């Protein structure tokens, strides 16, 4: 006996389950398992995720996914990897077409929007206690998402530093002194990007946990993120020797 059942979809690709002589065969078992993880996290929380629970929901024996993921941590690492890849795609899409002045603001609000749209992935993506940080695929996906933010900060700083290069010698001396105090090169960029990430990640986490002041949450998540990211961008541009965006 053979019949095909629609299981669900992931990223526009249909996942089908073939039932043959009482056994289940997934056309895309990893995708079906990750979809099951998402449902479990949404309904019961991260602690409820196990290989058996996800396999049961996906309609397969727990032995089959064990070959793909190894154990619960391997499964959650794959889920976190998928989330980081989704986040990178969202940030890149938001940055495309954004001007230099608004690029940091745009990807900051996109980060918060992603967290609110994909709370299940967001809950797992950066949890060291549920993932294998050394997994090369996960590390690459995680660093790839952060690289979008880092590259954007670099472009903003370099653009405003170039714009202020025509200043007089006194200004140049002052900026050189500031560079010594604040750090230059990749270290300074990394600090600025980490600050931006901390800000938007904190906004998203506080929002999802219901811990933001109601005077803030009366506005949309995007408006809240935009207001705070604007403040950060102005500080960043001032440090780079450019005029604040509010001027």
DSSP 165-185: TTS-HHHHHHHHHHHHHH--H
Cβ neighbour number for residue 162 with a 10 Å cutoff:
12
Domain with CATH 1.10.357.10 in the chain: 75-239
Its CATH class, for the domain covering 2-70, is mainly alpha
Residue 87 to residue 81: CA distance in whole angstroms: 10
The predicted pLDDT at position 160 comes to: 65
DSSP letter at 89 equals H
The predicted pLDDT at position 158 comes to: 77
Residue in 188, 233, 226 with CA at minimum distance from that of residue 94? 226
Residue 168 to residue 64: CA distance in whole angstroms: 69
Q: Which residue has the tokens 């906004």?
A: 203
Locate 239 and state its tokens.
Answer: 């440090």
Residue 193 to residue 170: CA distance in whole angstroms: 29
- What residues contact 80, with CB distance under 8 A and at least 6 apart? 121, 124, 125, 126, 127, 130, 131, 138, 141, 142
Residue 232 to residue 247: CA distance in whole angstroms: 15
The predicted pLDDT at position 41 comes to: 98
The dihedral through the CA atoms of 130, 88, 204, 41 has a sign that is negative
Cβ neighbour number for residue 204 with a 10 Å cutoff:
20
Beta strands at 2-10 and 13-20: parallel, antiparallel or unpaired: antiparallel
The predicted pLDDT at position 141 comes to: 98
The predicted pLDDT at position 168 comes to: 47
Mean pLDDT by 10 residues, the chain (247 residues): 40 39 59 97 97 95 89 98 98 85 85 96 97 98 96 81 54 49 70 89 90 68 75 63 43
Architecture of domain 75-239: Orthogonal Bundle (1.10)
Cβ neighbour number for residue 62 with a 10 Å cutoff:
14
What is the crossing angle of helices 72-95 and 136-163, to 10°? 20
Residue 233 to residue 244: CA distance in whole angstroms: 8
The predicted pLDDT at position 123 comes to: 97
**Phi and psi (nearest 5°) for 25?**
-130, 115
Q: Which residue has the tokens 């899409």?
A: 93
Task: Give pTM, 2 decimals.
Answer: 0.76
The predicted pLDDT at position 92 comes to: 96
């Amino acid at each position: 006996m053979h019949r095909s059942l629609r299981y669900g979809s992931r990223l526009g690709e249909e996942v089908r389950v073939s039932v043959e002589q009482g056994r289940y065969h997934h056309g895309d078992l990893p995708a079906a398992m990750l979809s099951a993880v998402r449902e479990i996290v949404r309904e019961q929380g991260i602690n409820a995720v196990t290989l058996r629970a996800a396999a049961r929901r996906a309609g397969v024996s727990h032995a089959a996914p064990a070959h793909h993921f190894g154990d619960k941590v391997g499964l959650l690492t794959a889920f976190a990897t998928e989330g980081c890849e989704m986040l990178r795609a969202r940030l890149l899409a938001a940055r495309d077409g954004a001007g230099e002045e608004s690029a940091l603001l745009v990807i900051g609000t996109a980060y918060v929007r992603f967290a609110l749209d994909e709370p299940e992935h967001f809950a797992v993506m950066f949890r060291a206690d549920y993932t294998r940080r050394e997994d090369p695929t996960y590390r690459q996906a995680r660093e790839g998402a952060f690289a979008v933010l880092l590259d954007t900060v670099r472009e903003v700083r370099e653009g405003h530093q170039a714009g202020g290069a025509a200043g007089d010698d006194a200004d140049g001396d002052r900026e050189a002194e500031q560079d010594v105090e604040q750090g230059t090169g990749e270290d300074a960029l990394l600090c600025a990007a980490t600050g931006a990430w901390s800000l938007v990640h904190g906004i998203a986490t506080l929002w999802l946990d219901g811990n933001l002041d109601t005077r803030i949450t009366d506005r949309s998540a995007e408006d809240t993120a935009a207001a705070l990211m604007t403040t950060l961008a102005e500080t960043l541009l001032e440090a780079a020797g450019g005029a604040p965006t509010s001027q």
